Amino acid sequence: MIGFIIWALCGLMFIGFGISAFSAKEAVGFWANAKVPPIEDVTAYNKAVGKLWCVMGVIFIVLGLPLLSGQNSPLILISVIGVLLEIITVMIIYTIGIEGKYRRK
């Protein structure tokens, strides 16, 4: 149970990043320690990044549900593999979808 609570708090942190991106005045960075590329429509870009973070947080929490069956359960493998696939998918969506759409040409 404690494992799931910690997992859910991490998911809520992702959702918090998304909510803060909605109200940001400057373009929000996605990658750690990297400058944001020049963006044409900062408001729409921040809204898209905010949605991505919020959806990622919700899916992250859902993927943590197998932790409720006990920390020694083989179902935890679903959580680990699911988060791996989620992170790869989010990186692809950001790079191709969001950054590709809003980057200044």
Q: Which of 54, 35, 34, 51 is closest to 97 using CA atoms?
A: 51
Instruction: Quote the pTM value.
Output: 0.88
- pLDDT of the residue at 73: 75
Residue-wise DSSP of 23-55:
T-SSPPP-STT-PPPPBS-HHHHHHHHHHHHHH
Residues 86-96 have pLDDT tens digits of 999 999 999 99
Each residue's pLDDT tens digit, 18-39: 999 999 999 998 888 888 888 9
Q: Which two tokens stand for residue 94?
A: 């950001």
Residue ranges of domains in the chain = 2-102
Handedness of CA 71, 75, 76, 77 (dihedral sign): positive
